Structure formats: structure tokens, C-alpha cells
């Protein structure tokens, strides 16, 4: 054996052993997580993996994602070249040259081309980090300009340079055919005029290529670059349905509730944390982060990883770790303030290119705080008591639930006689502004001849805020009561006014075995418009220029984007104007996730940020389709001194149009 081969083989084997040991050390920690089913429906999972990991669908949503796409696919193609390099280093007689001539030439051409592309992409990455660094590259503990980031980029660049150095030398020596390698042959022809350099460059390039590969193999499992091992499987294990809901808990004596220590997360939660490569897209989308709150979804995921690694030895010895997951200072722990800042809007999950689920992890930690520690912002005590005692967040007497009806001819829901149950919800029943929306909805339903009724005084709160706030015990109690009530009354089809009721009845109650056909008012009415049951010939322009704000729980969580816009279009003849962040990327009003009932002490108010964005469109009216958004927009406009701008629910716009038509 040549000494070179011997040294190479020794180093390769050592690197691979170190790699395997590191990977084992890290990934064996997943075993301490809780079980979670993520292996069902393999065909669908493969499709998701193809779309998000290989086709990089989400990566490409941002312009700079193209750069990553180039690096990713170059890496995939060059894996073959690097594989050959490693095998050839151990067994010098084995190489791709053993393949048929045509295939070999095609591969060489591809290697040459993508290596050059990669060099450009790495150059852009350097420029992005050094010159035009977007702020979301920095989190508290991981900086865009960290040595780690530059080391990884340098490794890749060095590999490419070594590749060209090596193959340029071989071409100059006449040992390789230049015709298949245009870039390397350029290096080769330059070398021909410096023949004294050729042997040295060939050797240096070969060893550089070898050492960088070994270093990469050793470093990989210890860096954020580990995502090249985890991202593809993470897309395979991703949630098949949009996780707009949280899993149930089992309430029995001796059980532990929520997540208070890192091993209480599921293995998939932990795997998510190994997958995060700190791209910062979630933090760039998070309304809490943007408005200066303690929460940064990326740091939540980072904290889980750091905590798991820090406490890993303790877990292996069967103890709980010493670094607390919640409430301590510094890296590897989450502040309670951060946990309570989440609006559960889901923008982070929508932004993540590799399908990490940040929001549910926050709710799991809230569960621990509420159910085990009984520690939460003090405003919530009233909310919890009101919900438990009077089944509405304000603690208003349940007997007043149907007061909005007043003089309207509203029927009680009777199975067989009325088709739909109109589930009015707490806001629609008690909030004076939202009650106007309820009346507008009733008017439209009657005009279209829909058969509907209400539960009146017997209606109870759906419990949405409780579930998102982590008070799962109370939520379950209310959910069970509602499921029983709906079953008793024979409810099968439900119209909701509020997207939060919609999601709870539709997505959450399913976990209790209740399958209802639930529609948001805007969906039902959009259908009525399409089928011609609601006709508006005279278009109403009295509301002026209308900007539409997508409620998170209607849009992102339940995929209803078009219906509310249809209502505005039908009533006014003009489509609403769009803000920069709209549709799937809409920006929260600040009230979701139970934030409606909490004070907002830090940073800018979320609703102010959103109102500013809407006001940039210079609208006369802001349209919403959610009572929380209504409150937040109206308050925001008042605070911003823009009281002249009106806020309307889309159904109000339509109802006003109908009234005008009849007038």
C-alpha cells in the first residue's frame, strides 16, 4: 500500500468513526422523547418529502432561497464526486472512469458545472452575511456572522477550489480529457504556462480536498449544519395536516401535564430542534418577535436543542437534567415571558422551509405552566374563572347570551326543522360591536332563505382561548359538554361567526369523536353568491377603498382566503386591496392564542404594527372576518388617530349592500 493511501485510509476511518459516534450520541437522545405517530401514510409522506426537501418548495418562496437550491442540488450531484474521491483514496483502482465513457463524460461535465455554480452561490452567501445581512439572520445566541457560518461556507468553497485545482493539474498533465470539463480545463491551460507549479498544486489540492472532507465529516454532527442529515427525514415526518390544533392530554392521577422538562417533548419535537439550521425565517414572520417581545420561535427551537444536549448525560443516567427548560436565564432555556407572548398565529410554521412545528411546542410548555405549576399572567385568572363559572371570557351572565336577538325573528335550533345551527360564539353574543356583526349575518342568512336556528341560552363557549393558553383541563371539560350538547340536539351542520369557534368545532372537537360540517359564515355566503341565491345588482361604493386583513385562524389555519374577498367583491364590485403581508403570510392582529385577554407590556403593540401596514394602503375601510381582529383593528386605529377609517366585518359589507338594494 502506498503511504498516501495508508494515511488517507486511516484518517477516513477515524473521521467516519468519530462521525458515527457523534451521530449516535446526538440521535440516541431522541429516545428520551415521548412517542408520537409520524410513520403513517408513507406514500403521502414521501410526496411531502419530495416537495419540501428535494423540490425545496418553501425554500424557494424567498428570492435568496434560489441560492440554497443551487447549493443543495450541487451538493446532491457532487455527493457522487466526493463519494468517488473517498473510495478512490482507499482503492486507487476504483473510479467513475470504470463507467461507460458517455456516462462518465456527462458526470464530469455536471461536476465541473455545478462546482462553479456552487462557488458563485457561496460567494453570494458571503456577501449576504458580510455586506447586506438581513436582521433575521441574528438571534440572541446564534449570529449571522458567526465563525461557524463562515467556517461552513469556507469548507464548501475550499472543496470547490480544491476540485478545480486537482482536475486542472490532471488536465495539464494530460491525465484527464479536458473536453468534458470546461472550467477545470481553463485552470489546466493556465497551469500549462506554469509547469513548475503543477505537481505541487496537484498534491496540495488532493490533500486539501481530503482534509476538508474529513473535517466536514467530523464537524457536521456538532454544527447547525447537521440539517443536511435531518432536514430530509424531517420533511418526511412532518405533520400531514396543518397543525391548527393540539393533541389531547390524559387526565388521571399521577400523570404529568404539558412539557416542563425537555424529555417531555415528543421525539419529533426533539428531531425538529436538530433540524433547525437557524435560517431565521420564522423569526422574520413572528408578530411577537417583530414587535419586540421576548419570544422568538427560532430561539424556542434552539433552546430545546441546547437543553437536550446539555441535559443529555443526565438523561442517559435516568435523571432529569439540571438546566431548566423553562424559567432560567440564558441559552438552553425559555423565559415564561416568551412562552406567553405567542399568538399561535402559525406564521412561524408557515415560514419554516423544513416543516418544523414551533407553535405547538409553545402550547405544550404553557400547559405545564398552567396545569402543573399554576403559574400564568395574572390577567388570566379572571379569564379562567369566568370560563369555568359562566362559560364566556367576560363573566357575563349566561342568561344574556341571546340578547342580541332583540327584535329579530330568530328561531331556536331544532334538529329536523332547522338545517344549520348558527353557533354565535361569545363575542357575537356579548361584545357590543360583534353583536352588530351577528345581526348582519342573521339578515343575510334570512335574505338568502337559509334555514337556521340558535341554541340561545344553552350555547356555551367553545373553549378556544383555554386550549391555546394551555388550560387543557378546563378546555376538555367544556369540549365534552359541548360535544354532548351537540349530540343531544342532533346538530350536524354549523355556521360560525368567529374563526376561533370554527377551528375549535371543526378541528379540535374531532378529537372527541364529533364530526360536524362546520362552515365559516364567509364560506357559506360566498357559496350563496356563486349559486345566485344572493344577488346584488347595485354595487355599493360608500365604503370607499377597502383593505382586507386575513384572520390567522380563518386563513392560515383553515385555508379560507377567497370566500371573505368574494363577499367584498360582490357587495362593492371591487376586490379589496392587499397589504404586503396577506393570505398565507398574513400578519396577526395580536389577539390569537389567548393574547386577547392579556396585557401587552413589551415592545410595540401587535395591532399597531398591523394597523400601520394596513394604513399604508390608504384605505377608507378595513375589512375583517373575525371578532378578535375587529377589536384589535378598531383599537389600533383609535390609538393611531385614524378613527376616520372604518372597520367592517365582510358580512356587514354584504348586509349593507343588501339593505341598500331593498331600500
Instruction: Decide: 440 and 649 in contact? Cβ < 8 Å.
Output: yes
Residue of the chain from 42, 251, 451, 512 that contacts other proteins (CB under 8 A): 251
Among the listed ranges 37-45, 383-391, 439-447, 603-611, the one in contact with other proteins (CB under 8 A) is 383-391
Q: What is the rounded CA–CA span in Å between residue 155 and residue 149? A: 10
Nearer to other proteins, 14 or 397 (CB): 397
Among the listed ranges 157-165, 395-403, 521-529, 564-572, the one in contact with other proteins (CB under 8 A) is 395-403
Nearer to other proteins, 99 or 381 (CB): 381
Kindly report the three-state secondary structure assignment for every residue of 38-97: CCCCHHHHHHHHHHHHHCCCCHHHCCCHHHHHHHHHHHHHHHHHHHHHHHHHHCCCCCHH
- Residue 414: phi and psi, rounded to 5, are -130, 120
Which residues are CB-neighbours of 312 under 8 A, at least 6 positions away?
25, 29, 321
Neighbours of 659 (CB within 10 A): 14
411 DSSP 8-state letter? P
Q: Does 60 bind other proteins (CB under 8 A)?
A: no
Q: Does 93 bind other proteins (CB under 8 A)?
A: no
Nearer to other proteins, 56 or 386 (CB): 386
Q: Does 221 bind other proteins (CB under 8 A)?
A: no
Residue of the chain from 381, 408, 574, 575 that contacts other proteins (CB under 8 A): 381
Nearer to other proteins, 374 or 406 (CB): 374
Q: What is the rounded CA–CA span in Å between residue 259 and residue 325? A: 9
| Torsional sign, CA 56, 57, 63, 66 | positive
137's grid cell: 439572520
Instruction: Decide: 365 and 574 in contact? Cβ < 8 Å.
Output: no
Nearer to other proteins, 372 or 492 (CB): 372
Q: Which of residues 351-380 bind other proteins (CB under 8 A)?
A: 370-374, 376, 378
Q: What is the rounded CA–CA span in Å between residue 296 and residue 349? A: 13
Among the listed ranges 92-100, 396-404, 489-497, 617-625, the one in contact with other proteins (CB under 8 A) is 396-404
Nearer to other proteins, 88 or 372 (CB): 372
Among the listed ranges 247-255, 430-438, 459-467, 562-570, the one in contact with other proteins (CB under 8 A) is 247-255
470's grid cell: 394551555
Instruction: Decide: 337 and 546 in contact? Cβ < 8 Å.
Output: no
Pattern 253-272, binding to other proteins, x per CB under 8 A?
A: x---x---------------
Closest distance to other proteins from the beta carbon of 293 (Å) = 24
Closest distance to other proteins from the beta carbon of 656 (Å) = 17
Nearer to other proteins, 373 or 481 (CB): 373
Relative to beta strand 493-496, strand 420-423 is parallel
Total binding residues toward other proteins, as defined by CB under 8 A? 21
Place of cell 351577528: 438
Nearest CA among 366, 357, 356, 352 for reference residue 283: 352
Residue of the chain from 390, 467, 556, 610 that contacts other proteins (CB under 8 A): 390
For 422: left if phi > 0, alpha if psi spans -120 to 50, otherwise beta; the answer is beta
Q: Does 389 bind other proteins (CB under 8 A)?
A: yes
Closest distance to other proteins from the beta carbon of 462 (Å) = 19
Q: Which of residues 461-480 bind other proteins (CB under 8 A)?
A: 473
Nearer to other proteins, 275 or 471 (CB): 471
Residue of the chain from 144, 233, 395, 412 that contacts other proteins (CB under 8 A): 395
| Alpha helices (runs of H) in 469-601, residue ranges in sequence order | 472-489, 499-503, 521-530, 562-572
- Which CA distances in Å does 6 have to 13, 15, 89? 11, 14, 9
Nearer to other proteins, 69 or 473 (CB): 473
Pattern 421-440, binding to other proteins, x per CB under 8 A?
A: --------------------
24 CA to centre of own chain: 28
Q: What is the rounded CA–CA span in Å between residue 158 and residue 85? A: 15
Q: What is the rounded CA–CA span in Å between residue 195 and residue 192? A: 5
Q: What is the rounded CA–CA span in Å between residue 76 and residue 73? A: 5
- Residue 391: phi and psi, rounded to 5, are 55, 35
315's grid cell: 438523561
Q: What is the rounded CA–CA span in Å between residue 433 and residue 630? A: 8
Nearer to other proteins, 335 or 372 (CB): 372
Closest distance to other proteins from the beta carbon of 528 (Å) = 32
Among the listed ranges 159-167, 194-202, 315-323, 390-398, the one in contact with other proteins (CB under 8 A) is 390-398
Pattern 565-604, binding to other proteins, x per CB under 8 A?
A: ----------------------------------------
Among the listed ranges 237-245, 250-258, 515-523, 555-563, the one in contact with other proteins (CB under 8 A) is 250-258
Among the listed ranges 388-396, 505-513, 583-591, 610-618, the one in contact with other proteins (CB under 8 A) is 388-396
Closest distance to other proteins from the beta carbon of 321 (Å) = 22
Closest distance to other proteins from the beta carbon of 463 (Å) = 15
Contact positions vs other proteins (CB under 8 A): 251-253, 257, 370-374, 376, 378, 381, 384, 389-390, 395-399, 473
Amino acid at each position: 500500500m502506498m503511504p498516501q493511501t495508508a494515511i488517507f485510509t486511516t484518517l477516513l476511518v477515524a473521521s467516519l468513526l468519530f462521525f458515527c459516534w457523534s451521530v449516535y450520541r446526538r440521535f440516541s437522545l431522541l429516545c428520551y422523547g415521548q412517542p408520537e405517530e409520524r410513520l403513517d401514510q408513507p406514500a403521502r409522506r414521501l410526496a411531502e418529502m419530495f416537495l419540501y426537501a428535494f423540490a425545496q418548495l418553501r425554500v424557494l418562496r424567498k428570492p435568496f432561497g434560489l441560492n440554497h437550491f443551487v447549493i443543495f442540488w450541487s451538493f446532491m450531484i457532487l455527493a457522487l464526486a466526493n463519494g468517488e474521491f473517498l473510495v478512490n483514496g482507499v482503492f486507487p483502482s476504483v473510479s467513475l472512469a470504470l463507467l461507460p465513457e458517455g456516462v462518465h463524460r456527462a458526470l464530469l461535465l455536471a461536476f465541473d458545472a455545478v462546482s462553479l455554480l456552487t462557488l458563485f452561490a457561496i460567494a453570494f452567501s458571503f456577501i449576504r452575511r458580510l455586506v447586506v445581512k438581513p436582521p433575521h439572520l441574528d438571534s440572541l445566541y446564534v449570529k449571522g456572522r458567526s465563525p461557524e457560518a463562515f467556517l461552513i461556507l469556507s469548507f464548501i468553497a475550499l472543496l470547490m477550489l480544491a476540485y478545480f485545482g486537482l482536475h486542472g493539474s490532471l488536465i495539464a498533465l494530460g491525465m484527464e480529457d479536458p473536453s468534458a470539463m470546461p472550467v477545470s480545463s481553463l485552470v489546466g491551460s493556465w497551469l500549462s504556462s506554469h509547469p513548475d507549479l503543477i505537481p505541487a498544486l496537484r498534491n496540495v489540492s488532493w490533500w486539501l480536498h481530503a482534509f476538508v472532507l474529513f473535517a466536514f465529516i467530523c464537524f457536521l454532527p456538532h454544527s447547525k449544519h447537521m440539517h443536511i442529515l435531518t432536514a430530509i427525514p424531517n420533511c418526511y415526518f412532518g405533520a400531514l395536516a396543518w397543525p391548527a390544533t393540539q393533541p389531547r392530554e390524559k387526565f388521571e392521577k399521577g400523570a404529568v401535564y404539558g412539557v416542563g422538562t425537555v424529555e417531555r417533548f415528543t421525539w419529533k419535537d426533539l428531531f425538529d430542534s436538530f433540524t433547525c439550521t437557524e435560517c431565521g425565517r420564522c423569526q422574520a414572520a413572528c408578530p411577537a418577535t417583530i414587535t419586540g417581545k421576548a419570544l422568538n420561535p427560532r430561539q424556542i427551537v434552539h433552546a430545546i436543542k441546547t437543553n437536550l444536549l446539555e441535559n443529555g448525560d443526565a438523561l442517559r443516567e435516568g435523571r432529569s437534567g439540571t438546566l431548566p427548560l423553562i424559567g432560567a436565564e440564558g441559552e438552553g432555556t425559555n423565559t415564561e415571558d416568551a412562552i406567553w407572548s405567542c399568538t399561535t398565529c402559525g406564521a412561524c410554521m408557515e415560514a419554516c422551509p423544513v416543516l418544523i412545528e414551533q407553535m405547538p411546542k409553545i402550547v405544550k410548555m404553557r400547559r405545564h405552566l398552567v396545569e402543573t405549576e399554576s403559574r400564568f399572567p395574572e390577567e388570566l385568572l379572571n379569564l379562567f374563572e369566568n370560563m369555568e363559572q359562566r362559560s364566556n371570557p367576560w363573566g357575563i351572565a349566561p342568561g344574556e347570551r341571546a340578547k342580541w336577538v332583540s327584535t329579530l325573528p330568530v328561531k331556536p335550533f331544532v334538529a329536523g326543522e332547522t338545517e344549520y345551527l348558527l353557533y354565535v360564539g361569545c363575542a357575537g353574543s356579548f361584545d357590543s360591536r360583534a353583536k352588530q356583526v351577528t345581526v348582519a349575518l342573521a339578515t343575510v342568512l334570512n335574505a338568502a332563505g337559509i334555514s337556521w336556528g340558535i341554541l340561545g341560552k344553552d350555547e356555551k363557549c367553545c373553549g378556544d382561548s383555554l386550549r391555546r393558553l394551555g388550560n387543557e383541563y378546563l378546555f376538555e371539560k367544556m369540549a365534552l359538554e359541548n360535544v354532548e350538547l351537540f349530540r343531544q340536539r342532533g346538530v350536524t351542520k354549523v355556521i360560525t361567526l368567529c374563526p376561533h369557534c370554527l377551528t375549535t368545532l371543526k378541528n379540535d372537537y374531532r378529537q372527541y369523536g364529533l364530526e360536524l360540517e362546520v362552515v365559516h359564515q364567509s364560506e357559506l355566503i360566498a357559496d350563496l353568491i356563486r349559486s345566485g341565491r344572493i344577488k346584488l345588482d347595485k354595487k355599493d361604493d360608500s365604503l370607499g377603498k377597502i383593505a382586507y386583513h386575513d384572520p390567522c385562524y380563518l386563513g392560515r389555519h383553515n385555508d379560507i382566503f377567497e370566500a371573505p374577498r368574494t363577499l367584498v367583491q360582490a357587495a362593492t364590485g371591487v376586490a379589496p386591496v392587499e397589504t404586503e403581508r396577506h393570505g398565507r403570510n398574513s400578519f396577526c392582529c395580536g389577539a390569537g392564542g389567548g393574547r386577547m385577554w392579556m396585557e401587552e407590556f413589551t415592545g410595540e403593540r401587535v395591532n399597531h404594527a398591523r394597523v400601520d401596514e394596513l394604513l399604508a394602503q390608504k384605505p377608507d375601510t378595513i375589512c375583517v372576518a373575525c371578532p378578535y381582529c375587529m377589536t384589535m383593528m378598531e383599537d389600533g386605529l383609535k390609538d393611531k388617530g385614524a378613527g376616520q377609517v372604518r372597520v367592517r366585518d365582510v358580512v356587514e359589507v354584504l348586509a349593507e349592500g343588501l339593505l341598500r338594494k331593498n331600500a
